[in-house]
Amino acid sequence: MKNILIDVDDTLTDFLYKRNNLIKKYIKDNKLPYKIIDINCTKSAKVANWPLDSCIKFWHDIGTEEQLNCKPQKNCAKVIKNLKNNGYKIIIVSARPDIYYEAYKYTKAWLDKQKIYFDVLIIGQQDKKSAMLNNNIDIVIDDSISTITSASELNLKSFLFTTEENKNFVLPENCIRVSDWKQIEKLIFKQ
């Protein structure tokens, strides 16, 4: 059996650009004295020059519900099911913190709603390298440069989901850049 680590945000979800535009609109609509500093940033606290309190309030006011209703990446549920049926163990790992919302509860609700299969769900995991070691991971799928770098340090095969934030990142050995789940499926099964 091979163990696959799969990230949530911008690997399974397709929410980053919508979320960042919501932040922009939220600041404008509420006449908050903050500016957008990085519209492509994957961390909501760093999208604007706002204090953490205001970012948390955004999540409570509209972010959580919008996230629960966000779309999955095309074909991810189908491909993950296929991987499961072919003996892969699906380990979903996210750094989503509880400060914005009850991260485990909301993430599980979203995965269930989208019928995305998993064997293990780990939430609030900032240190994905430990998660790779603790779960005997063989393959990593993520959009984060630091996660891909960790995978490379452990000599694991990885797939980097392209985003605006990582598009110029020079890939380490053993890493393949991808833009959709069908491409991942093809690459995994041809190994």
Is position 185 an interface residue for Mg ion (rule: CB under 5 A)?
no
Please say which residue, 29 or 127, places its beta carbon nearer to Mg ion: 127
> Residue 133 and residue 72: Cα distance in Å, rounded?
27
> Residue 76 and residue 31: Cα distance in Å, rounded?
38
Nearest Cα to Cα of residue 128 among 17, 1, 9 = 9
Which of these ranges, 6-14, 21-29, 102-110, 166-174, lies near Mg ion under the rule CB under 5 A? 6-14
What's the closest the beta carbon of residue 7 comes to Mg ion, in angstroms?
Answer: 4
Residue 52 has which token pair? 């953490």
What's the closest the beta carbon of residue 163 comes to Mg ion, in angstroms?
Answer: 8
Residue 74 has which token pair? 């095309």
Q: Rule CB under 5 A: which of 7-46 touch Mg ion? A: 7, 9-10
Helix (H, G, I), strand (E, B) or coil at 15: coil
Which of these ranges, 3-11, 26-34, 65-73, 77-85, lies near Mg ion under the rule CB under 5 A? 3-11
| Side-chain-facing half-sphere of 116: CA atoms under 13 Å | 26
8 A C-beta contact, residue 187 and residue 159: yes
Please say which residue, 143 or 185, places its beta carbon nearer to Mg ion: 143
What's the closest the beta carbon of residue 32 comes to Mg ion, in angstroms?
Answer: 26
Of the candidate residues 100, 143, 157, 181, the single one contacting Mg ion (CB under 5 A)? 143
Maximum alpha-carbon separation in the chain: 53
Please say which residue, 9 or 185, places its beta carbon nearer to Mg ion: 9
Total length of the chain: 191
Which of these ranges, 5-13, 15-23, 115-123, 180-188, lies near Mg ion under the rule CB under 5 A? 5-13
Which of these ranges, 72-80, 106-114, 136-144, 169-177, lies near Mg ion under the rule CB under 5 A? 136-144
Could you tell me if residue 160 is left (phi over 0), alpha (psi between -120 and 50 degrees) or otherwise beta? beta
Please say which residue, 3 or 73, places its beta carbon nearer to Mg ion: 73
**Residues binding Mg ion (CB under 5 A):** 7, 9-10, 143
